[in-house]
Structure 1
Amino acid sequence: MPADLAVIGLGPYGLPLAKAAVAAGIPTLGYRTGPDSGSLSPAELRRMVSGGFRQATSPTELGRVRTAVICPPTPRGEDGGLDLSQMETAARTLAAMLRPHTTVILESPVPPGTTENVLRPLLEESSGLRAGRDFHLAYSPSRVDPGNRDFTPANTPKVIGGLTPACTESAAAFYGRLTDKVVRARGLREAETVQVLETNFRHVNIALVNEMAVLCHDLGIDLWDVIRCAETKPFGFEAFRPGPGVGGHAVPQDLTGPAGRTLRMVELAQQVNSQMPRYVIQRSATLLNEHGKSVRGARILLLGVTYKPDVADQQSTPAQEVATRLLELGACISFHDPHVASWSVLDRPVPRADALYEAVAEADLTILLQQHRTYDLQGLSVKAQLLLDTRGAAPTGAAHRL
């Protein structure tokens, strides 16, 4: 069966898109661009294959589709900006096979101007085709929320911005097969900047509530009760909750383009959020000290080491830094996570607690870093000698909250 769609990059952005396309009845070709972090269970793969999915065995297959979506990850590089190398490699691979009338869409997070100033020349140079005349070129910010059961690709609006109005309409026609609502941006840069705003909105608001957590603890104020009350306001407020740090694939951008314009709010938010793992260590040491124990030699159990509840993804999880600092202070750490079979820190395997309740009872301190649905926090808090809840998920009074 010929494919209508090629998804180039089967990582955190491409794999959900491929699943959504197959669910919508679109024959889909998946092309890996390298060590993509997305994975499919054998059962998921069988379901997708039966629905019209197949993985490409050669780049030549990319020249036989009507729509190609480029979506490799763009992690933070050594200079602090986004590393576009995987996106550029994917573009060169596609360009060599690009045919006239193909619609090419970029979904990877990128600085504004990237689609036109980086992707477009790569596609045109190798293909000999011209964007906007021989093929359509557009950008659409990825709106993936792993583990969210309420919002799926079908009911999440898709923003589209094209090089030309015809490019926008071609991309909109494709995404109209996946979602109930398509929103047309004025152009490529506007669509790219939607992604920047959405990502930074999350990080800035998490930073605000993280600062509030530290302040409220110092003042003896129950921040979680404050949030509970504040979120009853029907306008002008959206509830965010503190935590041990911010993980995930969406990297906050304080450099918004070639001019290197710095967003000071985002820069400050990054500083605040990056301090939260250290604050968790500080609170842990204080709790142990109050109970006559030292971090050195203490048995500390970490619950939930993924960056998000109910998913296996560990991208930029704050659990890594928390564990690293505990080891450096001489603690004896172990972990439990229903989605992670094995875990390493500082190139050393961390013991996994298979008997959860026994491990909680034996630990001098248990730190909840991620609130997976399977955790019975009422029951765990009864067993724990000390429980530090960094997510505010345990019943009131059952644990020490961040």
Structure 2
Amino acid sequence: MPTIKSISEDLIQKLEGKTATVGVVGLGYVGLPLAVEKAKAGFSVIGFDVQEDKVRMVNEGNNYIGDVIQEDLESLVKENKLRATADYTFIRDVDAVAICVPTPLDIYKQPNMNYVESSVRAIAQYVTAGTLIVLESTTYPGTTEELIKPIIEEKGFIIGQDVFLAYSPERIDPGNKEFNTKNTPKVVGGVTKTCTKVAAAMYRTVLDGDVHEVSSPAVAEMEKLLENTFRNINIALANEMAILCHKMDIDVWEVIDAAATKPYGFMPFYPGPGLGGHCIPIDPWYLTWKAREYGYHTKLIEIAGEINDSMPDFVVQRCSEILNNKKKALKGSKILILGVAYKKDIDDYRESPVLPILNRLTKTGADWKVADPFVSEFKLYGELIETVQVTEEVLKEVDLVVLATNHSEFDYELINNYASCLLDTRNTDFVFQKLNYFKL
């Protein structure tokens, strides 16, 4: 009968020798780049997703994620290093599997763990002894041991002996030209020391970044929330400073630039129209929800969330002030919003602050259009909206242009020449001179 040591060492040997077959559950912004990197590292990779369109596109070698290079995906599929399926019976064929499914909030800002739980139950149905399971989805501390571990154990496995379970948070920053899945350091925490050792071995064979081992999944889960809560709170401070500086007629951007000259004790964060993406606006709420279990109220985190959530209202307020100075009401005014993606030079508009801005403008009776070179259409509360091109005619016919996302592909010279009025929420580098220019 194989010993605990021999099972784990056999798996580590497979991983280090790249003879293991690895699986990735969830082929979205996190899962597909990870699957590609694992295949590029020499592993045979099976991607799992319940969305048949994603499965079909991967198997056809058609990329749909900005951080994945089309040529890489196409060649890996042709070489049979990467394939996708919606059939979880193929979990039997994998030696290691990473779970990269969404962990959204419900309407009460509580974690919705349905995707994680259903994925784990599907995996547990077909998993075999000697398999590594790693959760990468951002979640609250305790998820791996309180939710996943019991489901695996229900099937008769002993965690750390015949199945190895760990948590390693994704650190994807869409559009980042310097850091990506391949070179970003990885944090790994296993349910047992052996679990940590096995999981770390897998990531060290795939990634160029350091692999930092921690004592438990809960530490790894908490550190991911600390990363994004840190950013959330500091952005909230910058946003609150922007509101105050506007009232005091002070340029907040100049204030931040001045403060950033201090070589210690200060890190610049910048205001904007609100938070977007699937991490920073959401992750801190996992922590506030979990804290209630321990009778603790995370006051600072919740206040920061309220400030950031209020920024779309502040943007609409600024639009109203600017139009009022032109003797126009917000109702009936024509407004062009530049950008719906939540950050520069990407096509991801998940949780974009532009969506609530548009919703508020609709309620005021404003007539708006959206232009975004990276997004041809988007859903606004269930309705599909097509974006427009930025042309001389479009710019001339609107009363106000709002720069919500400072994409590099926007023709700022054209905007400068033909727009009458611009509200810049991003402090873009272009020097606007021929129009009425306002900052957030």
Residue of structure 2 equivalent to 1:136 = 164
8 Å CA contact 2:376, 2:386 repeated in 1: no
Gaps of 5+ in 1: none
Q: TM-score, normalised by structure 1?
A: 0.94
Determine the structure 1 residue equivalent to 2:99.
70
1:5 to 22, 29, 34: 22
Conservation of the 8 A alpha-carbon contact between 1:204 and 1:266: yes
CA distance in 2, matches of 1:9, 1:179: 23
CA 1:341/1:392 → structure 2, altered by over 3 Å: closer, same or farther? same
Assess if the C-alpha contact under 8 Å between 2:19 and 2:43 holds in 1: no
Residue 350 of structure 1 deviates from its aligned partner by: 4.1
Match of 1:255 among 274, 286, 289: 289
CA gap of 1:310–1:47, structure 2 versus 1, over 3 A, is farther
Stretches of structure 2 lacking an aligned partner (at least 5 in a row): 1-17, 64-69
CA 175–115 in structure 1, closer or farther in 2 if over 3 Å, else same: same
Q: How many angstroms apart in 1 are the aligned matches of 2:295 and 2:221?
A: 16
Is 1:172 the counterpart of 2:197? The answer is no
Distance in 1 (alpha carbons) for counterparts of 2:193 and 2:75: 36
- Say if 1:345 and 1:223 are closer, same or farther in 2 by CA, change over 3 A: same
Q: In structure 2, what residue type is equivalent to 1:124?
A: E
Q: 2:178 — aligned with what?
A: 150
Query: Which of 372, 394, 418 is residue 383 of structure 1 equivalent to?
Result: 418
Matched residue, 1:400:
438
Task: State whether residues 74 and 82 of structure 1, in contact with CA within 8 Å, keep that contact through their aligned partners in structure 2.
Answer: yes
Question: Aligned pair in 2 of structure 1 residues 23, 271: CA closer, same or farther (>3 Å)?
Answer: same
Quote how far apart the aligned CAs of 1:23 are. 2.9
- Give, in whole Å, the separation in 1 of the partners of 2:320 and 2:86: 53
Aligned to 2:315: 280
Residues 306-321 of structure 1 correspond to what in structure 2 (within 5 A)?
A: 306-321=341-356
Higher mean C-alpha displacement, 312-321 vs 369-378: 369-378
Q: Give me the whole-angstrom Cα distance separating, in 1, the residues matched to 2:430 and 2:309.
A: 27
> Paired residue for 2:15?
none
Q: Do the aligned partners of residues 152 and 27 (structure 1) sit closer, same or farther apart at CA in structure 2, a change above 3 Å counting? A: same
Which residue of the partner structure matches residue 7 of structure 2?
A: none
3-state SS, counterpart of residue 343 of structure 1: strand
Q: Determine if contact 2:273/2:404 at 8 Å carries over to the other structure.
A: yes
User: Following the alignment from structure 1 to structure 2, what is the Cα–Cα distance between the partners of residues 128 and 348?
Assistant: 47
Distance 1:320 1:181 in 2: 37
Give the aligned residue type for 1:326: L
C-alpha deviation, 1:325, in angstroms:
0.9
User: Which of 148, 160, 163 is the aligned partner of 1:119?
Assistant: 148
- Tell me the distance in 2 between the aligned counterparts of 1:269 and 1:19: 36
Alpha carbon RMSD of aligned pairs, Å?
A: 2.2
What is the Cα deviation at residue 134 of structure 1? 1.1
Offset of 1:297 from its aligned partner? 1.0
Deviation at 1:3, TM superposition (A): 6.4
Distance 1:63 1:349, change over 3 A: closer
Q: Quick check: 1:373 aligned with 2:408? A: yes
Distance 2:259 2:422 in 1: 26
Q: For residues 376 and 164 of structure 1, what CA distance do their matches in structure 2 show?
A: 54
Cα shift readout 1:291-337 (whole Å, capped 9, x = no counterpart): 11111111100110011221111111111111111111111111100
Deviating more after overlay: 204-213 vs 4-13: 4-13
Counterpart residue number, 1:194: 223
Aligned counterparts, 1:181-330, within 5 A: 181-250=210-279, 251=282, 252-253=284-285, 254-257=288-291, 258-259=293-294, 261-330=296-365
Q: How many residues align?
A: 401
Does structure 1 retain, via aligned residues, the 8 Å contact 2:132–2:163? yes
2:68 pairs with 1:42: no
Partner Cα separation in structure 2 for residue 220 and residue 58 of structure 1 = 60
Task: Report how far residue 61 of structure 1 moved.
Answer: 0.8
Separation in 2, partners of 1:274, 1:57: 37
In structure 1, what is the Cα distance between the partners aligned to 2:44 and 2:255? 49
Deviation (angstroms), 1:169: 0.8
How far the C-alpha of 1:89 sits from its partner, in A, is 0.3
Distance in 1 (CA, whole Å) between partners of 2:381 and 2:188 is 42
1:325-370 residue CA offsets vs partner (Å, 9 max, x unmatched): 1111111111100111123435555453224343123210011111
SS in 2 for 1:42: coil
Q: 1:16 maps to which residue?
A: 33
In the superposition, relative to structure 1, how do residues 25 and 383 fare at CA in structure 2: closer, same or farther (>3 Å)? farther
Q: CA deviation at 1:379?
A: 3.8
Kept in 1: contact 2:121–2:151 (CA 8 A): yes
* TM-superposition CA deviations, 1:117-144 (whole Å, max 9, x none): 111011221x321111111111011100
What's the counterpart of residue 341 of structure 1?
376
2:299 and 2:208 mapped to 1: Cα distance? Answer: 35
Indicate the percent of aligned positions where both proteins have the same amino acid: 37
Structure 2 counterpart of 1:341, one-letter code: S
Amino acid at match of 2:119: A
TM-score (norm 2): 0.86
Contact 1:255 1:261 in 2 (8 A): no
Residues 349 and 155 of structure 1: is their aligned pair in 2 closer, same or farther, counting only changes over 3 Å?
A: closer
Q: Residue deviations 1:57-106, cap 9 Å, x none?
A: 42111121111011111011133121111000000000011111111101
| 1:192 Cα deviation from its structure 2 partner | 0.7
SS across alignment from 2:290: coil
User: Cα offset for 1:232?
Assistant: 2.7
Change (3 A) 1:76 1:35: farther
Distance in 2 (alpha carbons) for counterparts of 1:349 and 1:14: 26
- Using the TM superposition, name which of 80-89 and 236-245 deviates more: 236-245
Quick one: structure 1 residues 77 and 346, their matched pair in 2 at CA, closer, same or farther if it must change by over 3 Å?
Answer: closer
